[in-house]
Chains A and B, each alone.
Chain A
Amino acid sequence: MLPLLPLHIVVVIPVIAGAAGYFLPRNAYHRLLFLVNVGIVVAAIAIFAEVRWGGEIVQYMAEWPRWIAIKLVADVYSAPLVLLTAVFFAGTFLFSTRAEYLDKTFLFLFVLLESALIGMFLSGDIFNIYVLVELGMIIIAILIMYKQDKQSVYDAMLYLMMNFIAMAFMLLGIGYLYRITGVLDLAALHERLPLLDDPRAVIVPYAMIMTAIAVKAALFPLFSWLPRAHGAPSAPAIVSAVLSGVQVKAGVYLLVRISATFSPVIDAAPFFMILGFITSVIGFLLAIAQKDIKLILAYHTVSQVGLIVMGLHLGSDVAFWGGMYHIINHALFKGLLFLTAGIIIEQYGTRSYAEIRGVLRHMPAIGIGTLAGVLGITGAPFFNGSISKYFIQQGLQGDLGGLGMLLINFGTTLSFVKYSLILFGKPNAPKPLTRDPWVAVISLLFGLACLAGGVLGGPTVALVYGPQYSAAGALGAQKLLTFFLTLAVAVATYFFVVKRIGGFLTMIRNFKFSFNQITVFMTLFFVGLLGYAWWFV
């Protein structure tokens, strides 16, 4: 059907507005970009509604014929993510109206990142995806080191070089694909790949592109860039929130998209399912070892992305949509936690979890927001995390799967028992300065969204993606019992085990891989995926 408004509008408007308004004074520029973001939210809602009730929108740029033109696609996977990105950026703009570090260059780069992300979600052409991912990579590297203090330049350099190697892999893979099929359009690739004489010819490009995407999605053992980038000591709170909330999801989204393109020839779902599980376990183990509250959150993102990837590749529909729903949920609660963590760090002047106490009494709005985020992420009843985890759990088969899920839940709860210690106790910071009221409003709104996503879990999934599943089981007596038992065991484990192995945790915390080792891991991942695909095709 004919689209109501051209798709490329939402991609180019942020860039054009950012460039055209650059001469304005800083506050006016900030306001202009916020208004533009509100407009994009409206446009994204229109696109979402059209896709949801009218079917997918396909647009060929510049009136070139099919398969030659650059294609934009809005379908049931990408439209909700575009909406999520737009809402997220509008929220962070409102959140940061009085932040001093935001000068005009920063704001311009920030809207450019929004364009790159939305473009990535809408792109139906693999080379276009490559270019937009590279654009996002460069902008993120600049944003990480924006304040240039502590080791942020090192973090940004490691991030940039590691991702650049990954993108070189992707470029070679795309070249290979183009050589054997002659097209770059994802839909056309999907049609042509099964027609090849020798399906094994696809294995090498597949492994190359997937290695790059696994780096983007931060899968084990390629996640070491993520905590550095997301928890970088100097990165502003809104950058961390956007990176963890939306940008990692772009990697997961590409994983789904490109896997679907290659699905007639290669099916590596078991490989990614097991990898997702390992990522999830390693992520929370490392999160428990951290002292810095932002690093706890950042390692936790690794763990949750592992859970999402696991859910997406379990091979059951419920778990797949559970994983898709968890993408949105994780964006909400992790974005909220990063935003509030930024305010807490600013207020207390420290990043160590041991030195922050009494947030709930000191700054009630921020404290309640943090609490809502923690409840969401641990999958407490009535919060959104419980619904998506419940759906993922339904896709698991056998006792082993159930045990694995229990382990992940336990680890999540354990690391957040540690994190939520900062909420209680006697406040040990000076009286809060008069703050921007929007900070509290946004925190509470995100917290409310976490609650709403849980209370209305089943209907939300039906509204956003279409399939109807009952989420009533998530509030069943057995689930409640499991949750509170897990919580009790986690609290006990924290006070009787984790607190006594401080030396061991310090060792884990201080252990870092050098650039060369990371590159070796990347090569090993490539060889491993190549071997897997070779064996099973």
Chain B
Amino acid sequence: MAFINQLQISDLAVGLFFLGLYGAMSQRNIIKTIMSVGIMDIGAITFFMMANYPEGAKPPISSTPVEYMADPVPQALMITAIVIGVSVIAMCLAMYMRVAYRYGTADWKILIRRLEK
């Protein structure tokens, strides 16, 4: 089991991404697919955060000496990505409520059959 100890956060993040992708492929429940898509997004964000992360680096706040600082670029960028992700998920959930009230189902397959009538 030595390889488990060697796993880094970025490896786990990629795993999370594909786990989310699997969920989006396999789940018929709309809420579960929305959750899966959220997990994919979080996986990608975590991976980006850990890009070029030297062991033991400190957060890039003003008092940190420059040589210990983690790369500030991913952190600045990922704030944007997190905000976008949250708003898209919120919109998906709002739309889901509309669809669920209108067609009375939370299942993609049944939903398709009930459209067009």
Q: Which residues of A contact B (CB under 8 A)?
A: 127, 130-131, 134-135, 137-138, 141-142, 145, 148, 151, 153-154, 156-157, 160-161, 164-165, 168-169, 171-172, 174-176, 178-179, 182, 184, 510, 512, 514-516, 519-520, 523
Contact = CB atoms under 8 A, between A and B. Distances in A.
Interface hub of A142, A148, A151, A156 (most chain B Cβ within 10 A): A151
Contacts of B91: 138, 141-142, 160
Interface string B81-114: 1001001100110011011001100001101100
Contacts of A171: 41, 44-45, 48, 81
Given A161-B34, A516-B28, A175 B98 contact: no
Can you list the 6 inter-chain pairs with the closest CB atoms, starting with the nearest? A175-B48, A179-B51, A172-B44, A171-B44, A157-B95, A168-B40
Interface of B: 10, 14, 17, 20-21, 24-28, 30, 33-34, 37, 40-41, 43-45, 47-48, 51-52, 73-74, 77, 80-81, 84, 87-88, 91-92, 95-96, 98-99, 102-103, 108-109, 111-112, 115-116
Contacts of A157: 92, 95-96, 99
Contact of A131 (B14, B48, B84): B84
Contact of A519 (B21, B77, B88): B21
Given A165-B37, A520-B25, A175 B47 contact: yes
Given A175-B44, A516-B27, A153 B98 contact: yes
Contacts of A182: 52
Contacts of A135: 84
B26 to A, nearest CB: 7
B24 A160 contact: no
B99 A165 contact: no
B9 to A, nearest CB: 12
Nearest to B22: A523
Contacts, number: 109
B88 A131 contact: no
Given A168-B37, A172-B47, A178-B52, A523 B88 contact: no
A515 B26 CA distance: 10
Contacts of B45: 171
A179 B81 CA distance: 17
17 contacts: A134-B88, A138-B91, A151-B116, A153-B99, A154-B115, A156-B95, A157-B95, A157-B96, A169-B44, A172-B47, A175-B51, A179-B52, A184-B73, A512-B115, A514-B108, A515-B33, A516-B26
A161 B99 CA distance: 14
B22 to A, nearest CB: 9
B89 to A, nearest CB: 8
Contacts of B33: 161, 515-516
A81 B92 CA distance: 31
Nearest to B10: A179
A130 to B, nearest CB: 8
A381 to B, nearest CB: 41
Nearest to A171: B44
A341 B26 CA distance: 39
Nearest to A183: B73
